[in-house]
């Protein structure tokens, strides 16, 4: 049996006395899409930040593409594209300059061609020379998606990726994540949109207070169970 792209064992993350993640165990196969849902403060963003090597786990083990995130973080980062609530864009640079900057960090071959391709893919080809500070929220989100996918990562981590996107941009993101360019990446995303957010997923988990409270696969979708969990697990008081 092939090794999963992600293997999580007994993952715990503490912030002082607060336990943000509690003994998470999870495998995600290569090329699969996992959606994480749950109320605010449930641990969704914390889990993504651990996977992105931006937050060190308190205990437990996380293996990504055969690499331990604690001891091989630099190698793991080169395999990851991360879309967070922060755009990670430079407002005084143009769209093209932003992507070129990140592309050089990753040592992308044929960078100019790659930048052009990604700008066209997210519908910003005609705005490539404009400064990002003049962009609307939706345009910044489009460019952030291009930044996250620029180096064709094997693993894509996305925190509420559809926020601010119109239908055209949503369709473009779905095409990119489905592997329209190259081999389909492994995708993990958080969402509050139970209906639309699960369209691409093969699996979904419900987090509540740092605990994986429910898990379901596409062959056994139970949306009512997830809605019931939302009703029974109100927004947490802490992020």
Q: How far apart are CA 79 and CA 72, in angstroms?
A: 11
Contact criterion met (CB below 8 Å) for 208 and 229: yes
Round to the nearest angstrom and report the end-to-end CA distance of the chain: 38
Q: In the predicted model, what is the mean pLDDT of residues 115-139?
A: 95
When pLDDT is cut at 50, 70 and 90, the band that residue 136 belongs to is very high
pLDDT tens profile 177-230: 876 556 789 999 998 766 666 777 889 998 988 999 888 887 777 777 777 777
pLDDT of residue 223: 72
Q: In the predicted model, what is the mean pLDDT of residues 155-181?
A: 82
Contact criterion met (CB below 8 Å) for 178 and 10: no
H or E element at residue 213: strand 211-217
Contact criterion met (CB below 8 Å) for 232 and 206: no
Q: In the predicted model, what is the mean pLDDT of residues 85-90?
A: 90
pLDDT of residue 232: 73
pLDDT of residue 184: 84
Kindly report the pTM of this predicted structure.
0.89
Q: How far apart are CA 200 and CA 182, in angstroms?
A: 17
**Position with higher pLDDT, 200 vs 26:** 26
Tokens at residue 40, please?
């605010």
Q: How far apart are CA 11 and CA 13, in angstroms?
A: 7
pLDDT of residue 194: 66
Contact criterion met (CB below 8 Å) for 205 and 214: yes
Q: How far apart are CA 172 and CA 150, in angstroms?
A: 14
Is 235 a residue whose pLDDT tops 60? no
Cα separation values, 75 from 14, 71, 189, Å: 25, 9, 21
> Which are the contacts of 84, defined by CB distance < 8 A and separation ≥ 6?
45, 48, 49, 159
Domains and CATH numbers, the chain: 1-79+200-239 (3.40.50.300)
pLDDT tens profile 28-85: 999 999 999 888 888 999 999 999 999 999 999 999 999 999 999 999 999 999 999 8
Largest interatomic CA distance in the chain? 51
Tokens at residue 144, please?
């952030």
When pLDDT is cut at 50, 70 and 90, the band that residue 4 belongs to is very high
What percent of the chain shows pLDDT beyond 90? 65
Q: In the predicted model, what is the mean pLDDT of residues 101-105?
A: 95
pLDDT of residue 199: 75
pLDDT tens profile 176-187: 887 655 678 999
pLDDT of residue 17: 92
Q: How far apart are CA 26 and CA 46, in angstroms?
A: 15
């Amino acid at each position: 049996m092939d090794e999963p792209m992600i293997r999580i064992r007994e993952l715990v993350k503490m912030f002082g006395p607060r336990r943000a993640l509690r003994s998470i165990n999870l495998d995600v196969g290569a090329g699969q899409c996992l959606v994480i849902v749950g109320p605010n403060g449930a641990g969704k963003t914390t889990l993504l930040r651990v996977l992105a090597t931006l937050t060190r786990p308190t205990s437990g083990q996380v293996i990504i593409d055969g690499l331990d995130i604690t001891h091989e973080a630099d190698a793991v980062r080169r395999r990851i594209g991360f879309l967070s609530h922060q755009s990670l864009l430079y407002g005084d640079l143009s769209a093209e300059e932003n992507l070129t900057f990140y592309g050089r960090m990753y040592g992308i071959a044929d960078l100019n061609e790659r930048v052009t391709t990604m700008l066209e893919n997210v519908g910003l080809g005609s705005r490539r020379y404009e400064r990002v500070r003049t962009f609307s929220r939706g345009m910044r989100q489009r460019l952030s998606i291009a930044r996250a996918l620029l180096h064709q990562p094997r693993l894509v981590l996305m925190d509420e990726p559809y926020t601010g996107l119109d239908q055209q941009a949503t369709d473009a993101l779905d095409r990119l994540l489905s592997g329209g360019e190259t081999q389909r990446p492994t995708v993990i995303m958080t969402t509050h949109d139970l209906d639309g957010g699960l369209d691409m997923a093969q699996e979904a988990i419900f987090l509540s207070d740092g605990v994986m409270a429910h898990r379901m696969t596409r062959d056994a979708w139970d949306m009512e169970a997830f809605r019931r969990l939302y009703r029974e697990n109100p927004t947490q008081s802490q992020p």
